[in-house]
Amino acid sequence: MEIHVYDTYVKAKDGHTMHFDVITKEKDHDKAIKYAKEWLKTVGEENSTVTTEECQFCHSQGAPEPVAQAIEKNGYFIQKMEGCP
């Protein structure tokens, strides 16, 4: 499976920056933003701003099996980088 990685930096409600990648099987910027917002709701950050400024396409690559499985199940995978709960 080819995946597409969207590098995302979002301000949390306490002011710190959360850095994570939104990984999808479709190269669709609007869906990547939607998935970022969905995930942010699950960690209590539903009021964080996510636009094309915060979420930008980075690259495409082949998917490791655990990532491919998560994408098949949920439509996306979040790779937490820095400042994420």
Question: What is the per-residue pLDDT across 14-67, written as a single tens digit (0 to 9) for each?
Answer: 999 999 999 999 999 999 999 999 999 999 999 999 999 999 999 999 999 999
pLDDT computed for residue 40 by the predictor:
98
Which pLDDT does position 74 carry in this prediction?
Answer: 94
The pLDDT of residue 13: 96
Cβ burial, residue 26 (10 Å; 0-12/13-18/19+)? middle
- The pLDDT, as a whole number, for residue 37 is 97
Count structural domains, the chain: 1
Instruction: Tell me what the mean pLDDT of segment 1-6 comes to.
Output: 97
Mean pLDDT calculated for residue range 2-17: 97
Whole-number Cα distances in Å, 81 to 20, 48, 62, 75, 85: 5, 17, 19, 20, 10
Alpha-carbon distance of 40 to 43, in angstroms, equals 5
Residue span of the structural domain in which 78 resides: 2-82
- Looking up tokens 């699950």, which residue turns up? 42
Reading the block at residue 12, the tokens are 């949390």
CATH code: domain of residue 30: 3.10.510.10
